[in-house]
Chains A and B, each alone.
Chain A
């Protein structure tokens, strides 16, 4: 069921015009990143250029590798003590700013999330090296917090002066054998965006954390949820649904998570992947090493949520689980439908644009569709081609210099612990029946034909998009938020939502319907224009005297 959209100005015209002010070189490159969507048979979509450098001077939406590693992937976990090795800023800005919620098991249980730790490097240490200070910082941290695990994050200057965070981590681990201490070489200049940091985080979590403990959680159907960061409580809602269906969430990477859950994640039966971009590496490596299969899920929107939980139940194949899941979905859908139907009436026909991270620009289109809002343009901030075109393009992706410097681990089956959860035969059988493993279709096959797909969209292009297409709603990040809103157009920040949540799952969808309804319909933006703005004074009148 392919949707088609007729833009008032064709996407091709937009692309040609918006790149006019660029240098020839930049225009040529950007034209490969601004694509008018087409869908052929077997999900065939046009090629898009992605995961490539942003031109200097461009007002970009992107951040750095450190933000992807510390901010996104590791940040949401509560009991790995995280020390940022570098000057103060990097740690400061990643301090509680992503709205990752967490619920410790007890009042005494470790929760380091409200703490921001830094070696606060000074000029002397930049000159003479900061390793000693890092070691001293670890000493102080161990004495103060008694953590089970410590993650050390390298920042730009640390990499440049040659401080070896891994060597310090090893030395510290010798000193504190009860503490798992590991470093991340996530200097901000690595790669072209946050994406490099995700990969670096995945690698280290895989080599140094997963598989450290053999403590499986109780439960018949145990799965890990990968790429869910509990922003605004999304993971809480997903946990609620999972539990009601009879599933046991062994660990979430990394929303509302604990070290022990990570360390024993290899004991679960299944990995489901929410944000493909930030965590597909871990899913793949865990499959290779431990034999845990993975598939992509989407908990954004009631129908994707229902579909994903059905798929999970189908994977386990137990009729009781399937029935319980169905019954729960039925009740939840009925509950959500009341709000959806009402909001749909007020929102249908409106248009939206989404420029968000690595999965939301895709997933939230479903949620918007449920209330009748059409996405006319979308793009990712830091995705790769497979996130747009689907994993089938993986073999064709050219690895450039910027990606090559991010380590690609070679993984072999674990000698003792590799145990395929399902047989090759069963997998083939499932796939023949339409059940997909190890797959992600990507954003483009699910976007309307004729809509615009823009990778690494920038300020200049976003402004032009708004001028050309006058969307009713824009979804992007905090840096873009007020640029859009000054124009009187409501903007939903979809990185950390700014306020509210959850937006995932059934109750989350209802929250989102209501929030979009509020933004579009009960909207204070109507005051943007003063009454006199549209009625120029025709003649002067003396009112005084």
Chain B
């Protein structure tokens, strides 16, 4: 057994987190910052934070992930990181020439109380930031929230620094703000909006940035990412759709306060019902109709569900990951007749009624754990007490899956051992169909593997 020390008996822990079902804010902030075109993320802290975040995202995407670091020494930790940050501005603009630097703080700079607003002002005053260039920042100490809130905070910083009301009233554009999701899903959401002829602005938008092509040329700033002008213009949009309560809503809320753009928060479009809600909301706020193509895609998804739900009906599933994904995922699983046993996240849900939502979409029986000590060690213990037929979560779940001989469907962050998440969406109807097919294949490969010879079937 790889996880031989995980006992079935659950004892309550108050101090020790084991095998976390979350990571820290800055990695989410770095990922979000990559979703602005020609933006250099910058980690204001020790070199290690930046190295770890870049490595983690690089392994997840198999693509170059860039970010500067303030390379704090012991001296900087005592005297403050201002000199380091100002020097970093000079070096970054002269060597890498980004349009924007997006600074995220770390526990280190937060603990010593570095005032980023003041330091950035000083950067402009002392011409360390060249004319026409912009520096934004988000406070992302690792001792609060998780990678999801880090993503939300950096997205919120985009609103704070860029979004403006032109004063000419609201135009017909819809802002689409995603939670911490894959570039493939951002792409799919954009495709659906295009398909319905909705004028929209999406940010952050990492497609094309972290899933860039290999064509013999390295681009420090790939072609993707939301343009700064669009983020500015998002202050004049008609409505914002925040896709995710923890990862997206904070930016939408600020956009409302700052530029009077009303918002609606909806679930990420995973599965039929959540995608229906997304399409319905988008249709209503944009005043457009659902196209034939989308009808067709929906119909195909439903067709597949009706053809094959016998293989998912009654199957027990356990979920671990981020709240914004877990809620619609639990709803989807439940809607195709699966029984959701567990939903575990390390991300503290703050004011979001995560547990209530999970129970509302998947039933009162679901064991829901969130926040500190709601980790994969506890998840594994829960599974030992009530074994599911399939488990969904990130790469680290493979240790549990192997020990318990449960099939694993990889979803979430990080995925270090398979590819696909960069390219194949799980959201929207098409993405949902592909998710359903993956789910079926995982379950049906198991049936084939385990069937007695006399029950082994050609046709399924």
A interface vs B, CB < 8 Å?
21-23, 26, 53-67, 83, 86-97, 107-108, 110-112, 114-123, 125-126, 133-137, 139-141, 143-145, 155-157, 159-161, 188-193, 401-402, 405, 459-460, 463, 477-479, 481-488, 525, 528-530, 533
With beta carbons under 8 angstroms apart, the residue of A60, A96, A190 that contacts B69 is A60
Tell me which residues across on chain A come within 8 A of B73, comparing CB atoms: 53, 189, 191-192, 402
Selecting from B84-92, B233-241, B269-277, B357-365, the interface stretch reads B84-92
- Does the CB pair A459–B48 fall under 8 Å? no
A94 to B55 CA separation, bound complex (whole angstroms): 11
- Does the CB pair B70–A137 fall under 8 Å? no
Q: How far is the CB of B54 from chain A (nearest CB, A)?
A: 5
Q: How far is the CB of A355 from chain B (nearest CB, A)?
A: 14
A484 to B219 CA separation, bound complex (whole angstroms): 11
Q: How far is the CB of B22 from chain A (nearest CB, A)?
A: 6
Tell me which residues across on chain A come within 8 A of B373, comparing CB atoms: 120
Give me 11 A-to-B residue pairs in the complex whose CB atoms sit less than 8 angstroms apart, sorted by A's number: A26-B91, A57-B88, A67-B52, A83-B16, A93-B56, A95-B19, A136-B14, A157-B111, A188-B72, A189-B108, A486-B218
What 8 pairs across the A-B complex have the smallest Cβ distances?
Answer: A64-B48, A89-B24, A57-B88, A57-B91, A136-B15, A87-B142, A188-B46, A93-B52
Selecting from B59-67, B301-309, B320-328, B429-437, the interface stretch reads B59-67
Residue of A nearest to B89 (CB): A57
Tell me which residues across on chain A come within 8 A of B68, comparing CB atoms: 56-59
- Does the CB pair A155–B107 fall under 8 Å? yes
Tell me which residues across on chain B come within 8 A of A488, comparing CB atoms: 214-216
A237 to B183 CA separation, bound complex (whole angstroms): 41
Q: How far is the CB of B171 from chain A (nearest CB, A)?
A: 37
B372 at the interface (CB under 8 A from A): yes
Which residues of B (5-20) have their CB < 8 Å from a CB of A?
A: 5, 7, 11, 13-20
Q: How far is the CB of B335 from chain A (nearest CB, A)?
A: 32
Q: How far is the CB of A463 from chain B (nearest CB, A)?
A: 7
With beta carbons under 8 angstroms apart, the residue of A21, A59, A87 that contacts B67 is A59
Tell me which residues across on chain A come within 8 A of B66, comparing CB atoms: 59, 459
Q: How far is the CB of A70 from chain B (nearest CB, A)?
A: 10
Selecting from B74-82, B200-208, B384-392, B448-456, the interface stretch reads B74-82
Tell me which residues across on chain A come within 8 A of B84, comparing CB atoms: 56
Tell me which residues across on chain B come within 8 A of A56, comparing CB atoms: 68-71, 84-85, 87-88, 91
Tell me which residues across on chain B come within 8 A of A125, comparing CB atoms: 143
Which residues of B (338-382) have their CB < 8 Å from a CB of A?
A: 346, 372-373, 377
- Does the CB pair A530–B215 fall under 8 Å? yes
- Does the CB pair A481–B48 fall under 8 Å? no
Tell me which residues across on chain B come within 8 A of A144, comparing CB atoms: 5, 7, 11, 16
A523 to B212 CA separation, bound complex (whole angstroms): 20
- Does the CB pair A528–B27 fall under 8 Å? no
Residue of A nearest to B58 (CB): A478
B interface vs A, CB < 8 Å?
1-5, 7, 11, 13-20, 22-27, 42, 45-56, 58-59, 62-77, 84-85, 87-92, 94-96, 106-108, 110-112, 141-144, 146, 212, 214-219, 346, 372-373, 377, 396, 399, 416
With beta carbons under 8 angstroms apart, the residue of A23, A120, A485 that contacts B94 is A23
Given contacts A111-B2, A116-B18, 5 further A-B contacts (CB under 8 A): A22-B94, A140-B14, A481-B64, A483-B64, A486-B217
Residue of A nearest to B63 (CB): A482
- Does the CB pair B58–A63 fall under 8 Å? no
A88, A93, A116, A133: which has the most chain B beta carbons within 10 Å?
Answer: A88
Tell me which residues across on chain A come within 8 A of B396, comparing CB atoms: 95-96
- Does the CB pair A60–B47 fall under 8 Å? yes
A482 to B212 CA separation, bound complex (whole angstroms): 10
A139 to B13 CA separation, bound complex (whole angstroms): 10
A522 to B345 CA separation, bound complex (whole angstroms): 43
Tell me which residues across on chain A come within 8 A of B49, comparing CB atoms: 64, 89, 188
With beta carbons under 8 angstroms apart, the residue of B18, B24, B90, B111 that contacts A161 is B111
B51, B67, B94, B141: which has the most chain A beta carbons within 10 Å?
Answer: B51
- Does the CB pair B23–A89 fall under 8 Å? yes
Q: How far is the CB of B132 from chain A (nearest CB, A)?
A: 18
With beta carbons under 8 angstroms apart, the residue of B20, B54, B112 that contacts A91 is B20
Q: How far is the CB of A528 from chain B (nearest CB, A)?
A: 4
Tell me which residues across on chain B come within 8 A of A110, comparing CB atoms: 5
Residue of B nearest to A53 (CB): B73
A122 to B25 CA separation, bound complex (whole angstroms): 12
A155 to B141 CA separation, bound complex (whole angstroms): 13
With beta carbons under 8 angstroms apart, the residue of B48, B55, B62 that contacts A188 is B48
Residue of A nearest to B70 (CB): A56
A390 to B70 CA separation, bound complex (whole angstroms): 31
- Does the CB pair B17–A87 fall under 8 Å? no
Residue of B nearest to A499 (CB): B417
- Does the CB pair A141–B55 fall under 8 Å? no
- Does the CB pair B74–A190 fall under 8 Å? yes
Tell me which residues across on chain A come within 8 A of B112, comparing CB atoms: 160
Q: How far is the CB of A52 from chain B (nearest CB, A)?
A: 11
- Does the CB pair A54–B71 fall under 8 Å? yes
A487 to B50 CA separation, bound complex (whole angstroms): 24
- Does the CB pair A529–B144 fall under 8 Å? no
Residue of B nearest to A134 (CB): B15
Residue of B nearest to A104 (CB): B4
Residue of B nearest to A141 (CB): B16
- Does the CB pair A122–B90 fall under 8 Å? no
Residue of B nearest to A143 (CB): B11
A193 to B69 CA separation, bound complex (whole angstroms): 13
Residue of B nearest to A186 (CB): B48
A528 to B214 CA separation, bound complex (whole angstroms): 6
Residue of A nearest to B57 (CB): A479
Q: How far is the CB of A318 from chain B (nearest CB, A)?
A: 40
A64 to B53 CA separation, bound complex (whole angstroms): 12
Contacts A58-B71, A119-B15, A478-B58; A157 near B143 (Cβ below 8 A): yes
Tell me which residues across on chain B come within 8 A of A83, comparing CB atoms: 16
Residue of A nearest to B23 (CB): A92
- Does the CB pair B75–A401 fall under 8 Å? yes
- Does the CB pair A107–B1 fall under 8 Å? yes
- Does the CB pair B215–A529 fall under 8 Å? yes
A190 to B78 CA separation, bound complex (whole angstroms): 12
Contacts A92-B24, A114-B3; A66 near B48 (Cβ below 8 A): yes
- Does the CB pair B5–A137 fall under 8 Å? no
A90 to B56 CA separation, bound complex (whole angstroms): 12
Tell me which residues across on chain B come within 8 A of A136, comparing CB atoms: 14-16
A144 to B9 CA separation, bound complex (whole angstroms): 10
Tell me which residues across on chain B come within 8 A of A23, comparing CB atoms: 90-91, 94
Q: How far is the CB of B453 from chain A (nearest CB, A)?
A: 31
Tell me which residues across on chain A come within 8 A of B215, comparing CB atoms: 486, 488, 528-530, 533
Tell me which residues across on chain B come within 8 A of A160, comparing CB atoms: 77, 108, 111-112
A156 to B78 CA separation, bound complex (whole angstroms): 12
Contacts A57-B68, A66-B48, A111-B4; A86 near B56 (Cβ below 8 A): no
With beta carbons under 8 angstroms apart, the residue of A107, A189, A481 that contacts B72 is A189
Tell me which residues across on chain A come within 8 A of B144, comparing CB atoms: 122-123
